Amino acid sequence: MSSVHSVLKEKCDGDSLRRLLALENRKLHEFVAHYAEVCDPDSIRVCDDSPESIAYIRSRALELGEETALAMEGHTIHFDGYFDQARDKAQTKYLLPPEMDLGPRINSIDEKKGFQEMEGLLRGIMAGKQMYVLFFCLGPTFSDFSTPCVQITDSAYVAHSEYILYRPGYEYFRSIGDSRDFFRYVHSAGELEGNVSKNIDQRRVYIDLKENIVFSTNTQYAGNTVGLKKLALRLAIRKASREAWLAEHMLLMGVHGPGGRVTYFSGAFPSACGKTSTAMCAGEGIVGDDIAYLREKSGVCRAANVEAGIFGIIQDVNPKDDPVIWNALTTPGEVIFSNVLVAGDVPYWLGDGRDVPEEGVNYSGEWYRGKKDKSGNAVSHSHKNARYTISLARLGNLDGRADDPEGVPLSGILFGGRDSDTSVPVQKAFDWAHGVLTMGASLESETTAATLGQEGVRKFNIMSNLDFLSIPLGQYIRNYLAFGKRLEVPPAIFGVNYFLRGADGKFLNAIEDKRVWLKWAESAVHNDVAMIESPTGFIPRYLDLQRLFQEVLGKDYSREDYVRQFTIRIPENLAKLERIAHLYYAQVPNTPDVLFSVFEEQQARLDEARRRLGEYISPLDLR
């Protein structure tokens, strides 16, 4: 390769070269120079934290047609390709050397083979384009949570998205000097056709765990291209494993208790299980909706939101169910909409509560009511995975400690899946290990017919983090257990289930009831309520829930509803234990023995309760 300095001098203008060389980090310079030679852009624009750099990226996105201005000030629309609307799980792979084994459940490719393929795909891919070099920080800057990152991309849309979603990191990068400990990302949308990636068959997302690099080619969809999001979570999980902290797919929120008390919770929920709606519960404060880092600091678990914005699914966001987000999306301010319908320069999406226009432009091009694709299927006016990108600062319920460099003190962790027939709506684990193993490591979610074709299929999803694990499952469990032992008072762990159904198939809870479960959990953390011991955990007393339903929702809560919701379903709980134990026994050879011990203890409690009280036990009989 040509000398690093000569390559950079050839491609960068004076200001860009000055910005880059001001960061005295040889590894960074070599990285940028190498991919400048490989990708062969016409020029390189190095951006810093200044308003001028951010404004430049915004204007480029509009100038190049990657985004189009909408009627409301600050709002833009971006369209991905028709077949580039979601994360490509099949082509998202780890580059693994022969000595690294992550287990059979993790998608990987031989390191040498994958790297050669990626370098081949990237060769000359930015010819005729400008390369952007940007700097961000995962977590609050200048803190123990900070992870510096450098992004290379040829997409102004991707760069613009990252400026909204992440904290600026140029000045923080300057502070690390010649450190080699930072995350790197290389992305190219590839050849464009009508402003969207043309060669989708060559779409690849490869992750180099040894070098902390994410590669992404021939795609624009942000889940494949915004490297700092779920792709970086994979790098962070491995880094956390080495350094004895946790990188989690979790919301962070402050639940408000009596006397102005704020108690901080994190929560892990698989897709379509209530994660965002929990984080946005009325009356509470949001810290983050997606990814959190958890660290032990002086014996206390402290947590920080990795991000500064939301890349959220927009379907069903409406003024009744999501007033805070709705307000952010329908008032002036910076918003990127993606893959929704635009008619008269106004965006429309599924479930927004408005009349659908007869025609407009969407992810399929010109759209009209009744349009069908080549297979004869109806083309909806907005894609079901259409998104919005906004800064958390635009939300009226943002918690005041969202950017605290010390993080927030974490008092509770919620684990929730879509479960129609087994778990009660809310219960508190007996202790850290019991919660980690029977609630987090046993997390399942049922598929829905509307989105995945076959209803009721239970999918295992450990801590709601399975898709992003970059370490063996057994090691991940050991890390959790060891983390709890280092804490003076570990966060209380709660299992929640918003999807329990009755014999008639109808949900036993209303959507807003989760607000009550949160308030009960907040009280339970502080021992403000007495609890009933069940075989699977501590459950609420009827009188406490009756009071909370009145205080929180202003509605009555009947004893009959309480019994239906909090009946302990012995056969279903035993079946789940057997199902999860078999999965670990058969597929996770490095499972720690304590998991099976805790499962056996829970099975013994369930068997004893069945012997005394029958297969379906009313909570009123557990006094």
DSSP state of 353: S
Q: Taking 70 as the threshold, does the pLDDT of residue 450 lie above it?
A: no
Q: Taking 50 as the threshold, does the pLDDT of residue 453 lie above it?
A: no
pLDDT, position 415: 98
- Band (455; pLDDT cuts 50, 70, 90): low
pLDDT, position 2: 59
Name 499's Cβ contacts closer than 8 Å, sequence gap at least 6.
273, 418, 419, 420, 446, 507
pLDDT, position 152: 98
* pLDDT tens digits, one per residue of 382-419: 999 999 999 999 999 999 999 999 999 999 999 999 99
Q: Calculate what percentage of the chain has a pLDDT beyond 90.
A: 91
Enter the tokens of residue 128: 């005729």
Segment 433-455 shows an average pLDDT of 78
Q: Taking 80 as the threshold, does the pLDDT of residue 527 lie above it?
A: yes
Segment 218-243 shows an average pLDDT of 95
Enter the tokens of residue 414: 């919620």
* pLDDT tens digits, one per residue of 246-263: 999 999 999 999 999 999
Q: Taking 70 as the threshold, does the pLDDT of residue 20 lie above it?
A: yes
Cα distances from 24 to residues 177, 180, 545, in angstroms, run 6, 11, 59
Q: Taking 50 as the threshold, does the pLDDT of residue 163 lie above it?
A: yes
Q: Taking 70 as the threshold, does the pLDDT of residue 347 lie above it?
A: yes
pTM of the model: 0.94
Q: What is the CA angle 579-580-582, rounded to 5?
A: 70
pLDDT, position 452: 36
Enter the tokens of residue 245: 């902290």
Segment 327-334 shows an average pLDDT of 97
For strands 204-208 and 92-96, give the pairing: parallel
Crossing angle of the two packed helices 473-485 and 230-243, in degrees rounded to 10: 60
Greatest Cα pair distance, the chain, in angstroms, is 81
Name 585's Cβ contacts closer than 8 Å, sequence gap at least 6.
591, 596
Q: Taking 50 as the threshold, does the pLDDT of residue 611 lie above it?
A: yes
Distance CA 117, CA 337 (A): 33
- Band (278; pLDDT cuts 50, 70, 90): very high
Q: Write out the catalytic residue numbers.
A: 273
Instruction: Please tell me whether residue 377 adopts helix, strand or coil conformation.
Output: coil
pLDDT, position 448: 58
Distance CA 101, CA 507 (A): 42
* pLDDT tens digits, one per residue of 26-43: 999 999 999 999 999 999
Domains and CATH numbers, the chain: 4-66+87-243 (3.40.449.10), 247-308+403-621 (3.90.228.20), 311-394 (2.170.8.10)
pLDDT, position 589: 85
Mean pLDDT check: name the lowest of 94-103, 130-139, 494-503: 94-103
Distance CA 281, CA 277 (A): 6
Name 502's Cβ contacts closer than 8 Å, sequence gap at least 6.
508, 564
More confident residue, 456 or 140: 140
DSSP letter for each residue of 80-133: --TT--S--STTEEEEE-TT----TTS-EEEHHHHHHHHHHHHTTTTTTSEEEE
Q: Taking 80 as the threshold, does the pLDDT of residue 102 lie above it?
A: no
Residue 27, phi then psi, degrees to nearest 5: -60, -40
What is the residue-averaged pLDDT of the chain?
95
Mean pLDDT check: name the lowest of 56-65, 239-248, 449-458: 449-458
pLDDT, position 449: 40
pLDDT, position 623: 74
What amino acid occupies position 219? T
